[in-house]
Amino acid sequence: MGATHPLALAPVTSPPSTVDGFVKEFLQNLNFERGVTLTSSSPNDRYMALAHTVRDYLQARWLEDQRRQREMQAKGVCYLSAEYLLGRQLDNNLLATRLTDIATEAMAACGIDIDDLRQQEVEPGLGNGGLGRLAACFIDSLATMSVPSIGYGIRYEYGIFRQTFVDGQQVEQPDAWLALGSPWEFPHPEAAQEISFGGHTEKYDDDGVERSRWVPGWNVQAVPYNYMVPGYHNGRVNTLRLWRAVATSAFDLRIFNSGDYEEAVRAQTFAENISKVLYPEDSTPQGKELRLQQQYFFVAASIADFLQHQLAEDYDYEKLPDRVIFQLNDTHPVIAVPEFMRVLVDERGLEWDTAWAITQKCFAYTCHTLLPEALEVWSVDLLGRLLPRHLEIIYRINDDFLEEVRERFGDDEMRIRDMSIISEHPDRSVRMAYLATVAGAKVNGVAELHSQLLRDKVLHDFDEFYPGKFTNVTNGVTPRRFVRLANPRLADLITDALGAGWTVDLERLRGLEAFAEDPEFRARFAEVKAANKRTLSEVLLSRDGFTVSDGHMLDVMVKRLHEYKRQMLKLLHIVTTYESIVSGKVAAADVVPRTFIFGAKAAPGYVMAKRIIHLINAVGSVVNSDPRVEGRLQVLFPPNYNVTLAERVIPAADLSEQISLAGKEASGTGNMKFALNGALTIGTDDGANVEIRELVGDDDFFLFGMSEPEVEALWAQGYKPADFYQKDPQLRAAIDLIASGAFSGGDRSVFEPIVSNLLYDDRFMVLADYASYIAAQARVDAAYADQDAWTRSAILNVARTGFFSSDRSIRDYIDRIWHTPPVL
């Protein structure tokens, strides 16, 4: 650099640390960014100007941290995830920067209620559910703990669909989250990467060594959009870099110049389709070409970005394992493995074995499922067409791997077939989980039980082959968003009791155990819960026109709609209670009043899930309007459950429904959020429920249902759901009521497929666990009758679940997998 102006060395902005300063910047942003005055501004203008004001404040620290991370050359994490379910940004960024009070006062000084501006923000829903939300919690913890890291993903133009109900049935609307602009993103077209696809490979002679090169058929540009990820009260700002697909100008120009305007526009559309929309399936992936394009697009861009911008020109690649770990969030980014090999071998000229040794130290893989149908495979046909060189590399990896397997286990053909990365049935395809397992330095599950089942079942041969490779990191959730922001009343109560440090040291919640014995504290805790219910009630009234009944237990089941999660079991409990009232077996007055809240999106092509949504709505409309119920049961199903709604529902809940069939839910993270907000759990011995129960204790957790080994045993002996129906009059009455058409205006055909499915093809053993579930719900009713004892239990749930902070998860990743100490 030549003569340096003194300002070039100084922080870029002086932050507005006073209300006046904030007002001034806000008004300037209104004028110069939005081109309006305060009086002529729309709510969106004001939201945008406010967001810009907060953003500017973070900017200086951000630039500083980017420089530090480059210069320090400390080992860092590249988190590769196809999804980030971020939720709203404004409040989180205000909290992280301690600007909440100043901003609130500044807005008030301008005659604006900051709450009205909060409502303006459309949340970036760039994820389906648990996996995407986990990624969002992790980048929050990484920033808060000062771990050098960057999150890489896709900037979908349309996130998870907006769910509406028409006659009780799900109808999907596009999620145009960018329609009014996004103040939190910084596009960097100058830093675009060119990403290639298709074509063929050629062999060539490189000084007597035969090498392969890829001659691609077409390419697109990946343009990075940076998002700030502020740490909580530590002045750090990390980066989330999401890629957008844009047509390459060369490609464009060629066609334009040839005079084929329409073709050029088509090419543009084709390229931009890659980052157009998030696939709304959260299991049973279909082998769609566009999906593979998305996956390769973002990991190829991310690897190129990392190698170019984080490493010196003459970097010695053999030192890479001391510099970076690429964490694969499920199999979606696993094509990064052959891409990394291609870059090292084809582009940088490393020997295969050297490159492979580096690769095996630079990647680690997190598995998030146990369902066989959720394990991703790509047909060799498709892969070979889209990424021919990568397919070659995968074959070579597999050949070398199977060679090693033979050396160890002999020519055991069955085992070779079982362990091969290439499966031959039904069609030849690549098993991405196997590729990830072979390539990864470590493979982890997301809860103790899940990790154990991975080792014992799904990846058993690999565990035997690679001793020490498998480990567990139990999931966690960020206490900033899910306690501090979502539940400010509880946060204040905790801070009153324990002081302020708990937000970054959640195990301190243990200190609340003593307060559980203090009647005055219990009364305050109960008042927090009651106030949160009133707030939720207001939200649901203005959002959906629902009126939540006073004095009801709030019984909540919010999560994606999937048969294994068993929303049907919850529904059978509701129908059973309803049936017992209308048949006169129980007086309405003797029923503990409950409001059931559901929130759930179904994958658009998942027919059974959509039927179940329809049935929930149908039961709701009958139950809610039947005078015989005397208002003691209420079923509410607000559409479009998302992070924003979760932040309202969870703090208000009394009872958390975590009722998946044992051995099916990898972890769950909603379960943790509820416990931390003082809901009691009714749950199976599944996923992280197991650990929640261990920590909370049997007295304050409603366990029911078969254990995983019991599930296995019942399957093995031949499960006949109809037998359970025959033997249990209560169950029979509930199912008969559904079958009778009572919830479909007398039309028996509407829900017949659900009934048949339960009776003859109950894959997730709803009927087998029904009796146990109903019994557990009776224990819930009994416990709820003693409100003070319930509150005590709720406090103990909060006190004992500090373990589930995502800060602890990140610490475990650092200790067991990454070995990337915080850089303070």
What are the catalytic residues? 368, 559-560, 565, 669, 673
Could you list the beta-strand ranges (E) of 450-580.
470-472, 553-558
As measured in angstroms, the least distance from the Cβ of 688 to ligand 26Q is: 7
What CA–CA distance (Å, rounded) separates 808 from 788?
31
Q: Pick from 251, 203, 152: which is nearest to 388 by CA?
A: 203
As measured in angstroms, the least distance from the Cβ of 333 to ligand 26Q is: 11
CA distances from 802 to 41, 107, 673, 738 (A): 44, 35, 11, 42
What CA–CA distance (Å, rounded) separates 84 from 159?
10
Decide: is 141 part of the binding site for ligand 26Q (CB under 6 A).
Answer: no
Q: Which residue has the tokens 């968003």?
A: 481
What CA–CA distance (Å, rounded) separates 446 from 327?
14
Nearer to ligand 26Q by Cβ, of 133 and 342: the residue is 133
As measured in angstroms, the least distance from the Cβ of 82 to ligand 26Q is: 7
What CA–CA distance (Å, rounded) separates 441 from 360?
5
CB 53 within 8 A of CB 17: no
Nearer to ligand 26Q by Cβ, of 521 and 804: the residue is 804
As measured in angstroms, the least distance from the Cβ of 656 to ligand 26Q is: 14
Strand pairing partners for 196?
A: 219
Separate counts of helices (H) and strands (E) for the chain: 33, 25
As measured in angstroms, the least distance from the Cβ of 562 to ligand 26Q is: 8
Q: Which residue has the tokens 């540009």?
A: 221
Residue choice 224, 668, 678, 802 for contact with ligand 26Q (CB under 6 A): 668
Decide: is 285 part of the binding site for ligand 26Q (CB under 6 A).
Answer: yes
Decide: is 489 part of the binding site for ligand 26Q (CB under 6 A).
Answer: no
Decide: is 572 part of the binding site for ligand 26Q (CB under 6 A).
Answer: no
Residue choice 47, 158, 177, 279 for contact with ligand 26Q (CB under 6 A): 279
Nearer to ligand 26Q by Cβ, of 275 and 634: the residue is 275
β 162-166/149-154 pair status: unpaired
Decide: is 15 part of the binding site for ligand 26Q (CB under 6 A).
Answer: no
Hey, which residues between 315 and 344 contact ligand 26Q (CB under 6 A)? 332
Neighbours of 403 (CB within 10 A): 10
Nearer to ligand 26Q by Cβ, of 446 and 554: the residue is 446
Decide: is 667 part of the binding site for ligand 26Q (CB under 6 A).
Answer: yes
Among 8-16, 122-130, 432-440, 580-588, which window interacts with ligand 26Q (CB under 6 A)?
Answer: 122-130
Nearer to ligand 26Q by Cβ, of 83 and 769: the residue is 83
β 470-472/443-445 pair status: parallel
Among 128-136, 158-166, 319-327, 517-525, which window interacts with ligand 26Q (CB under 6 A)?
Answer: 128-136
Q: Which two tokens stand for residue 347?
A: 């582009």
As measured in angstroms, the least distance from the Cβ of 453 to ligand 26Q is: 12
Nearer to ligand 26Q by Cβ, of 131 and 588: the residue is 131
Residue choice 233, 276, 291, 489 for contact with ligand 26Q (CB under 6 A): 291
What CA–CA distance (Å, rounded) separates 2 from 246?
36
As measured in angstroms, the least distance from the Cβ of 170 to ligand 26Q is: 18
What CA–CA distance (Å, rounded) separates 436 from 420?
12
Nearer to ligand 26Q by Cβ, of 476 and 678: the residue is 476
CB 512 within 8 A of CB 522: no
Q: Pick from 596, 603, 595: which is nearest to 563 by CA?
A: 603
State the distance between the two ends of the chain, measured CA to CA, in whole angstroms.
29
457 phi and psi angles, rounded to 5 deg: -125, -75
Question: x/- site string to ligand 26Q, residues 346 to 375, per CB under 6 A?
Answer: ----------------------xx----x-
Among 14-22, 248-256, 282-290, 634-642, which window interacts with ligand 26Q (CB under 6 A)?
Answer: 282-290
Nearer to ligand 26Q by Cβ, of 39 and 286: the residue is 286
CB 117 within 8 A of CB 107: yes
Hey, which residues between 416 and 455 contact ligand 26Q (CB under 6 A)? 446
Question: x/- site string to ligand 26Q, residues 156 to 195, per CB under 6 A?
Answer: ----------------------------------------
CB 129 within 8 A of CB 665: no
Could you list the beta-strand ranges (E) of 584-736.
594-599, 633-636, 655-658, 680-683, 702-703
Nearer to ligand 26Q by Cβ, of 118 and 291: the residue is 291
Q: Which residue has the tokens 């995407």?
A: 132
**Segments in 410-477 forming alpha helices (H):** 413-419, 432-439, 448-453, 460-465
Nearer to ligand 26Q by Cβ, of 646 and 783: the residue is 646
3-state secondary structure of 769: helix
Decide: is 153 part of the binding site for ligand 26Q (CB under 6 A).
Answer: no
Residue choice 475, 576, 801, 820 for contact with ligand 26Q (CB under 6 A): 475
As measured in angstroms, the least distance from the Cβ of 721 to ligand 26Q is: 24
CA distances from 318 to 308, 359, 360, 436, 526 (A): 16, 10, 12, 21, 58
Question: x/- site string to ligand 26Q, residues 740 to 759, per CB under 6 A?
Answer: --------------------
Strand pairing partners for 680?
A: 655
As measured in angstroms, the least distance from the Cβ of 687 to ligand 26Q is: 5
Among 237-245, 255-263, 275-283, 753-761, which window interacts with ligand 26Q (CB under 6 A)?
Answer: 275-283
As measured in angstroms, the least distance from the Cβ of 667 to ligand 26Q is: 4
As measured in angstroms, the least distance from the Cβ of 280 to ligand 26Q is: 8
Residue choice 114, 131, 646, 737 for contact with ligand 26Q (CB under 6 A): 131
Decide: is 130 part of the binding site for ligand 26Q (CB under 6 A).
Answer: yes
Decide: is 532 part of the binding site for ligand 26Q (CB under 6 A).
Answer: no
Hey, which residues between 768 and 787 contact ligand 26Q (CB under 6 A)? none
Q: Which two tokens stand for residue 717?
A: 């002996």
As measured in angstroms, the least distance from the Cβ of 607 to ligand 26Q is: 17
Nearer to ligand 26Q by Cβ, of 546 and 641: the residue is 641
Among 9-17, 126-134, 413-421, 538-546, which window interacts with ligand 26Q (CB under 6 A)?
Answer: 126-134
Nearer to ligand 26Q by Cβ, of 446 and 731: the residue is 446
DSSP code per residue over 439-457: H-S-EEESSHHHHHHIIII
Nearer to ligand 26Q by Cβ, of 142 and 255: the residue is 142
CB 293 within 8 A of CB 197: yes
CB 586 within 8 A of CB 580: yes
What CA–CA distance (Å, rounded) separates 50 from 602?
35
Residue choice 134, 136, 483, 767 for contact with ligand 26Q (CB under 6 A): 134
What CA–CA distance (Å, rounded) separates 649 from 676?
13
3-state secondary structure of 77: strand
Residue choice 666, 735, 774, 799 for contact with ligand 26Q (CB under 6 A): 666
Residue choice 282, 305, 657, 700 for contact with ligand 26Q (CB under 6 A): 282
Q: How many residues does the chain have?
A: 824
β 377-379/429-431 pair status: antiparallel
Burial degree of 618 (CB within 10 A; 0-12, 13-18, 19+):
buried
Hey, which residues between 669 and 708 contact ligand 26Q (CB under 6 A)? 669, 687
What CA–CA distance (Å, rounded) separates 24 from 29?
9
As measured in angstroms, the least distance from the Cβ of 471 to ligand 26Q is: 15
The residue type of 519 is: P
- Contact residues for ligand 26Q, defined by CB under 6 A: 128-131, 134, 279, 281-283, 285, 291, 332, 368-369, 374, 376, 446, 475, 665-669, 687
